[in-house]
C-alpha cells in the first residue's frame, strides 16, 4: 500500500532566493507498507519545475501498489514524485532485510560530512549580521541573483572573513552581470559560483575562461542532462528531488565523475527525512549542501545530527 500525506514545516526565518520568499516548507511524505514493514520518503515539489503537491500526489497515487524500484525508474520521470517513492522503497527494503540501506546498495559505511550553511537573499546589513552569527561555520552559501549583489557579497565577507564562500545566483544573473562580478568573486575568495545564468541560456559559459569553478544546478537533473553540460560547467549539483531519488542520483554521481565533473550534493529546503538519503550520496562529494533542517523551526522525530563534524548519517528510526 502506498500512502501520501502533506506536511508543513515552519522555517526559523523567511528564506529568500532570487525567485521569491517563503516562511514554510510544504512537503509530501510517502509511506509504503508491505508484509508488516513500512518505508518512508519525502519530497518537496518545486514550482520551478512545474510541480505542486497535488500534481506530485496524483503521480504517486497512479502507481501500482506493488511497484518495484527498478520499474519505478521508467514509470515516473525524474522529479519529486519519483524521489519520494524511490527513497521509501529503499527504506522499506532496509527494514525488511534488517540491514542499513548502504549495505543493500553495496556502499561503504557512511560518516559525517561537512555541509554548507545558506544565507538567504536580504539587504546587505542583514546578510552581514547573518554572516557574523554563522562565522564559525566552515562553509557559507550565499543566495544572490540580482543586479545589486556586490554590496551583499562584501557584507558577508566582512561578517565571516574566515568562512569559505559559495555563491548561488539561482539563474538570476545576465551574462553582463556575471562578467562584471567574476573578478570580484575571485578577489573575495569565493570558491565556486552556482548556476549564474538561466538554464538553457548558459552557452556563454562555454565561451569564456572559468578561473572560478561554475556549478550546474537548474541545468542538471539526471544522467541524460550531463552531456549538454560539458564545456560549460565544472561541477554538478545533485539533488534527489531533481534526479528522482537515490537510485538515479548514485548513477548520476558516478557518471558525472567519470565525465570529469566535480560533484556537489544539495537539497531543497526540507526535513531530516528528505536529507537522510542524500547524506549517503554525499559521501566523498567535493561539496555538500544539506542544511535544510538547520533552516527549520521544527523537524521530524529522530532528526539528523549536526555538529562540528558536519551532518551525520541517519538513525535507523528516521530512515534507511
Q: Of residues 95, 232, 239, 242, which has the active-site annotation?
A: 239
Among residues 310, 76, 8, the alpha carbon closest in space to that of 87 is found at 76
Active site residue 143: yes
Catalytic residue among 95, 143, 232, 242: 143
Contact 241, 79 (CB under 8 A): yes
Is 242 labeled as catalytic in the residue annotation? Answer: no
| Bridge partner list, 174 | none
Return d(Cα 143, Cα 120) in angstroms, integer: 5
Query: Any idea which residues carry the catalytic annotation?
Result: 143, 239
Amino acid at each position: 500500500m502506498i500512502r501520501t500525506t502533506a506536511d508543513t514545516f515552519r522555517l526559523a526565518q523567511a528564506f529568500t532566493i532570487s525567485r521569491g520568499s517563503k516562511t514554510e516548507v510544504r512537503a509530501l511524505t510517502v509511506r509504503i507498507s508491505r508484509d508488516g514493514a513500512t518505508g518512508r520518503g519525502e519530497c518537496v515539489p518545486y514550482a520551478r519545475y512545474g510541480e505542486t503537491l497535488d500534481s506530485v500526489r496524483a503521480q504517486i497515487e497512479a502507481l501500482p501498489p506493488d511497484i518495484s524500484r527498478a520499474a519505478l525508474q521508467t514509470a515516473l520521470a525524474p522529479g519529486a514524485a519519483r524521489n519520494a517513492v524511490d527513497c521509501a522503497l529503499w527504506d522499506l527494503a532496509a527494514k525488511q532485510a534488517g540491514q542499513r540501506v548502504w549495505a543493500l546498495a553495496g556502499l561503504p559505511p557512511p560518516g559525517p560530512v561537512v555541509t554548507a550553511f545558506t544565507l538567504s537573499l536580504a539587504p546587505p546589513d542583514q546578510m552581514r549580521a547573518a554572516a557574523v552569527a554563522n562565522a564559525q561555520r566552515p562553509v557559507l552559501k550565499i543566495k544572490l541573483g540580482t543586479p545589486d549583489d556586490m554590496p551583499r557579497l562584501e557584507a558577508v565577507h566582512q561578517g565571516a572573513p574566515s568562512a569559505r564562500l559559495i555563491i548561488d545566483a539561482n539563474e538570476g544573473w545576465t551574462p553582463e552581470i556575471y562578467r562584471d562580478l567574476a573578478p570580484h568573486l575571485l578577489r573575495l575568495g569565493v570558491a565556486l559560483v552556482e548556476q549564474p545564468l538561466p538554464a538553457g541560456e548558459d552557452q556563454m559559459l562555454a565561451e569564456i575562461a572559468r578561473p572560478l569553478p561554475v556549478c550546474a544546478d537548474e541545468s542538471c537533473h539526471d544522467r541524460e542532462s550531463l552531456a549538454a553540460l560539458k564545456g560549460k560547467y565544472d561541477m554538478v549539483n545533485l539533488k534527489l528531488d531533481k534526479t528522482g531519488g537515490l537510485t538515479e542520483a548514485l548513477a548520476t554521481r558516478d557518471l558525472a565523475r567519470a565525465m570529469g565533473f566535480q560533484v556537489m550534493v544539495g537539497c531543497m529546503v526540507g526535513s531530516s527525512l528528505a536529507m537522510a538519503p542524500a547524506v549517503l550520496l554525499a559521501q566523498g562529494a567535493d561539496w555538500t549542501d544539506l542544511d535544510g533542517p538547520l533552516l527549520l523551526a521544527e523537524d521530524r522525530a529522530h532528526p539528523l545530527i549536526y555538529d562540528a563534524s558536519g551532518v551525520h548519517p541517519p538513525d535507523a528510526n528516521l530512515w534507511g
